[in-house]
Structure 1
Amino acid sequence: MRNGPMKVTHAQVVPWRLRQQSLVPRTDAPVEELVARLAGVQAQVGSASELALAVRQKTPRAGVVPSALAARALVRTWAMRGTLHLLPAEGMAAYLALLGAARTWEKPSWQRALGHMGRRRPPRSTPGCCAGRPVRPCCAAGSRRSATG
């Protein structure tokens, strides 16, 4: 076993990163599987999330994101870095637990941006489609509330 940092070349890193980001090879996987593999897709702009998924698919089709959202296979919600992301509905309980553990709402920058200066307690309910109810039963019941409001 070697000591010290591993040495890699640019020619080794580029293909590795393309594979890790699911850019090569392109996939036939459903969008919810692709979103799960990527641990979320940034979705501040809806068309950007469609493009981010399309470039990773062998046969991209328009309208897959709205269809997956309507079928409740994907959820569009505030997530990493305080921006909207597409996340797989199947893993929402885990994502909410991880994001809640970060207690982002306590950061001064968030409090200033949201107009809650001095507020040091978590919200009464977890933001999202289930408004504090357990995620799995709520989603199974077909809540019509958006994860963003």
Structure 2
Amino acid sequence: MTIRQLLNHTSNLPNYTMNIDGYTTGRAWTAQQLVDGALRKRQPNAQPGEKWEYTNTNYVLAGMIIRAVTGNEPAVEMKTRIFDRLGLADTTLPTTDNNLYGYFSFHLTSEDGAKQVVEANNESHLISGTPGQNHTGAAAANAFCAL
């Protein structure tokens, strides 16, 4: 498995959010707990590179690699290597405050493209390590199911 496969979601690793019994964002998880939990119930569903499947586990592993290679937390490396260089002064990778401030939106489109739902929200999100996850809540799920 390569770093590229982690970042483009072709690692085929299981998603920890679907494989840890009792998983909740209301608890702090270590990166190792998330990876161990992802692999506890099932092994990868294909060989790396064979197919695409989104998984938060990839981001956790990427963060662990950043830590091992640089000795720094991913948030520090992302700030100095990406955000600062691009002049993104208001962009951060939260590490202790689990709230997203302001409003953000996302679009859900039906398979035939006929219907679209736009939702703006500012829910509380827990970022454990570097999962890159986004929990949208029941309103978004209900809106999508109505399409």
TM-score (norm 1): 0.24
User: Could you say which structure has the higher helix fraction?
Assistant: 1
Structure possessing the higher relative contact order (Cα contacts under 8 Å, 6 or more residues apart): 2
Q: Which is greater in Rg?
A: 1
